[in-house]
Amino acid sequence: MLAKRQEEIRDGLADSDLFGSLFDEELDELIAYGALVEMPAGKLIFQRGDPGDSLMIVLSGRIKISNVSADGKEAVLNFIEPGHCFGEVAMLDGRERSADATCLETSQMFVLKKKDMLAFIETHPGITWRILGVLCAKLRRTTEMVEDSVLLTMAPRIARGLLRLVRDYGRKEGDSVLIGLRLSQRELGGYVGLARENINRQLSAWRNEDLVSVREGCIVIHRLGELERIAQGDS
């Protein structure tokens, strides 16, 4: 049983953006440093202001990274799927967590404490470049989201948000693209910085135009080129 669990963790880490370049024996060494944690849907993993003493690799499930303003408005910064890490920024700079992390589904995570991660980096310095790549990708995403919220009106803003999700979670289905991520309209609104009512109104209009549809909570893009044109601000 332990051997099977070790193999499952190794396979999950081998598919990750951070540790995918490691050999099996290196992954086994890494596993010895960390711990496997399972949390139920709705569980708050950490919140803004908590000590940043670890990073997590998602092995199964889905995590939401968000912040809530003083008036209760939620801003969704990212969704973390299996194979991706989170919590690395605060762990590396030694400061407090800058956002909340919540399980949207029952999730399994591999957790590495800061001292153990630093010890592993010392013997595998190439991992540093992987970490930098992950951080740069997240910085680009955040920059895009800030620019969209400042410069764009509603339709292009939602279109660009959907295109980011296509880039990360899109799966071709004939001439259409399925976003393999179940999102409520409230979550999508938090992701693009708009009220749920605005999301509902725009998606309804696009459904009537056969631009998008919703299947079991997942958005399907039927005319990707048209969505890209809207994202550029063309009416």
Instruction: For residues 47 and 219, give the distance between their C-alpha atoms in angstroms, rounded to a whole number.
Output: 29
Q: Which of residues 108, 128, 147 is at a domain's end?
A: 147
End-to-end CA distance of the chain: 58
pLDDT digits (tens, 9 = 90+) for 122-169: 888 888 888 888 888 878 877 887 777 766 789 999 999 999 999 888
35 forms beta bridges with 111
The most confident of the ranges 72-86, 127-141, 183-197, 211-225 is 211-225
158's tokens = 């939602």
Find the CATH number of the domain harbouring 204: 1.10.10.10
Domain with 174, as residue range(s), is 152-231
What pLDDT sits at residue 230? 94
Number of domains composing the chain: 2
- What single-letter amino acid sits at 63? I
Q: Are 170 and 177 in contact (CB under 8 A)?
A: yes
Say yes or no: 100 and 170 in one domain. no
Q: Which of residues 115, 147, 179 is at a domain's end?
A: 147
What pLDDT sits at residue 1? 40
The pairing of beta strand 212-215 with beta strand 218-221: antiparallel
Say yes or no: 12 and 102 in one domain. yes
**Residue 76 CB burial class (10 angstroms; 0-12, 13-18, ≥19):** buried
pLDDT digits (tens, 9 = 90+) for 99-134: 999 999 999 999 989 889 888 888 888 888 888 888
Say yes or no: 141 and 225 in one domain. no
Count CA within 13 A, CB hemisphere, residue 76: 23
118's tokens = 């630093």
Say yes or no: 138 and 191 in one domain. no
44's tokens = 């708050």
pLDDT digits (tens, 9 = 90+) for 27-65: 888 888 889 999 999 999 999 999 988 988 898 999 999
What pLDDT sits at residue 229? 94
**Residue 67 CB burial class (10 angstroms; 0-12, 13-18, ≥19):** middle
Say yes or no: 28 and 138 in one domain. yes
Say yes or no: 164 and 210 in one domain. yes
Q: Are 56 and 154 in contact (CB under 8 A)?
A: no
Find the CATH number of the domain harbouring 107: 2.60.120.10
Instruction: For residues 168 and 67, give the distance between their C-alpha atoms in angstroms, rounded to a whole number.
Output: 21
170 forms beta bridges with 179
52's tokens = 């940043």
